[in-house]
Chains A and B, each alone.
Chain A
Amino acid sequence: MPRMQRATPDDRHTRPLARLIAGLAGLMLLAAACGEEATTDGTAGTPTDGGAAVGRCGDPERLGEALNFYNWADYIDEAVLEKFEKECGVRVTMDTYTSNEEMIAKVQAGNSGYSLVIPTDYAVEILIEQELARPLDKENIPNAANLDPKQLGLYYDPDNTYSFPYQYSTTGLAYNETAFAEPPTSWAVLFDQNEHCGESSLLDDQYETVGASLAYLGHSWNETSDAAHEEAIDLLLEAKDCISAFDSANFIGNLASGEVVVAEAWGFAAGIARLDNPDVRYVIPDEGGILWQDNFVVPVDAPDPYTAEVFINYMLEPDIGALITEYTFGFTPNLKVEPLLSDDYHGIITDGGIFIDDEVRERLEPSIRADTKRYADTYKAVTAG
């Protein structure tokens, strides 16, 4: 029947498209294959600089070709990675995370592939307890001798068996000085005396937000009694209407742009905001803030612990340490780095109120995070309502 004959569809309709797709796919696969080869070929493990660089690069016989590094987002100047590759011939691939919990989840699941991670104090304790941290071979990290003893031997790793300090900073109050007749000195500006409704933020962190409210109520940041936490719930629920957000990701940009004029913030974050907006200042309120520290840790299933340790040592070199600190606006635990820091850096830290001196240290508590469930429940009560 004529109609049936004509029902045969024209495959010229599908052919060009099919060919296009097949061609694209083929190209991709080809490129991928070539791409893979290029990276595995890599450069040999020998340093390209002269003999002086050997000290900075460890033993070329044992050094690997590649290193997988898991770090906080935007917490290191990429120039450091490039310099390490140029001087020591190791290609560093850095992936980033935005919370300790993300990193712990990956490491705990096993086979993460990372040889070096940067946990915060309490996270180091968790990794050690869960037997996920590898003891460091101190012979490979001679630069550790330059570390400030005040930042060593902390509660989470008393003998520094598993960790060395990377950068440290504080949690306090960042504000835009043009929005205040007098510089604020109390957490009250975020809680019950908030005059900047809709222009203030707290951190999106159960410990840091609840802790700040506990401090304001006269307790310790690390108070875990139910009575204290119930007071904190009351306070935060009332304050919540005026708080524009519980936000750890955007507040830096918000402070810089004026979207937010007062925020719970980390010291180094205030420094970054101050770069874009010189009106941003920082203070540790009278009721108290916390001092916390990020550390180098090598996971127990690290593919290349030796190269990781060499890299740690490299980052503890004075010039490299200076690069890192100038970029992050954190505090360096490396005594040899201090003298190398620029005036710009010091300017921001000093004028911005971010510095720590003895007087400030009185108001700082260590960041401990015991009884996470208590803080979690408190935070849930506040945010879910």
Chain B
Amino acid sequence: MQIPGFGEVGSTGLVGAIGLSMSPAAIAWKIALTVLAASIVMALLRFIPRAEV
């Protein structure tokens, strides 16, 4: 199935990863998305001005 902006989704795709699918690819997606989310948070935190001592 095609979703605009998300491309092909399914058991190996984004929706499969967010959903309950536990195929190896879906597990890999879950991990990758977790890392991505953590990386985004870390990057945003680094923009917060802080005195360098």
Bound together:
no
* B residues with CB within 8 A of A: none
* A residues with CB within 8 A of B: none
